[in-house]
Amino acid sequence: MSVTTSFPGVYIAESDSPTFSVSTAPTAIPLFSMNADFSSTAVRFESYMEVARYFGADLDVKRPAIAGLRAYFEAGGGPCYAVSHDYLEQEASSLGSTISLVVANAFDIIPEFSSLDVADGLFFILDGPEEELTIQSRPTNLGSSALAAAYYPWLKARWTDADIAPSAVVAALYGQNDRTRGVWKAPANIALPASLKPKYQVTDDLQAEYMSAPAINMIRTFRDQNPVIWGARTLDESDDWRYVSVRRLFLSVERDIRKAMNTLMFESNVPHTWEKARSAVTSYLRSIWQQGGLMGISEEEAFFVQIGKGVTMSDTDIAQGKMIMKIGLAASRPAEFIILQFTQNFEGA
């Protein structure tokens, strides 16, 4: 509120102080790895029409990178970024607060994403091998990371002779899944557009072979159905981070809370501030739990938020300017194996 002053004196203007809250940021904005001759800074695309305008006469869907962008938008993908693979790590870091996914070929990006960590808040969607896999031909250089998931096989479409990277289409379906169900729902059992077909057929035996670390998620075609993503594992076999949905949920929560907590920088490190932070984070997590993103029939079973002197901080911590909050989540895991047990009930038995 502005104050009109007409003579020397003390003037008072009251205004409501902004409330502290944790807001949910977009969870599926991808950065595409492009050819070396592409831009060294990230270019934003809202639609395939913008892609066509950007490339102009050089638009050629026989080029895998362009085919991937077309397939991404054809599969319902939203806004995205693209950059030369030579500058992928640089731009991924600089856009960390804007994007949440990196889409790349696994065998190009493994050395690069290994230098990034959870603090970057990024999850990598990677292409599996372009050649046909067999039970005997498991790739040995795929890497291991809880921040990445790989997909196979590559795809085909009528509008190009090029093989289409599965990561591009999977990125679009991640976005669809996040919008309709939430980042905590495993991005699997989701149908691809009918125009896209797997280059190779995947059998039960082949998928069973590739479910162990480093797991490769399969795109499969079942009878009378469009192809579907039939797997939801990261490249990490640990119980904590085995599933894409669990890892991405934690990344999303950490990113949202970290952004909100930045507004409390240099506030007084006192109980009033602690309670304001605790209340906001609790409200944020309660919303996720109410939407089915956390396990538990009560809030106490689903999550906890702790902060305070003698709880998370000592006198020494407070004297050193440290405000420490501990947060626990009971993340839900996907029902990956559904086992039906039938018993025949004989009359009179």
Residue percentage of the chain with pLDDT more than 90: 68
Residue-wise pLDDT tens digits, 44-68:
999 999 999 999 999 999 999 999 9
pTM above 0.85, yes or no: yes
Average per-residue pLDDT for the chain = 89
Nearest to 331 by CA among 257, 254, 247, 252: 247
| pLDDT at position 116 over 70 | no
Averaged pLDDT, 266-278: 95
Tokens of 140: 């040995």
| pLDDT at position 252 over 90 | yes
| pLDDT at position 3 over 50 | yes
| pLDDT at position 74 over 90 | yes
Averaged pLDDT, 263-288: 94
The full DSSP string for 273-321 is HHHHHHHHHHHHHHHHHHTT-B--SSHHHHEEEEESBTTTB-HHHHHTT
Q: CB within 8 A of 78, min separation 6: which ones?
A: 28, 29, 46, 175
**Cα–Cα distance, 232 to 339 (Å, whole number):** 18
pLDDT at 13: 57
**Helices and strands in the chain: count of H runs, count of E runs:** 10, 13
Q: 96, exposed or middle or buried, with CB in 10 Å at 0-12, 13-18, 19+?
A: middle
Map out the domains of the chain with their CATH numbers: 30-246 (3.40.50), 266-329 (no CATH)
**Cα–Cα distance, 185 to 178 (Å, whole number):** 8
Residue-wise pLDDT tens digits, 10-30:
555 555 555 678 888 888 899
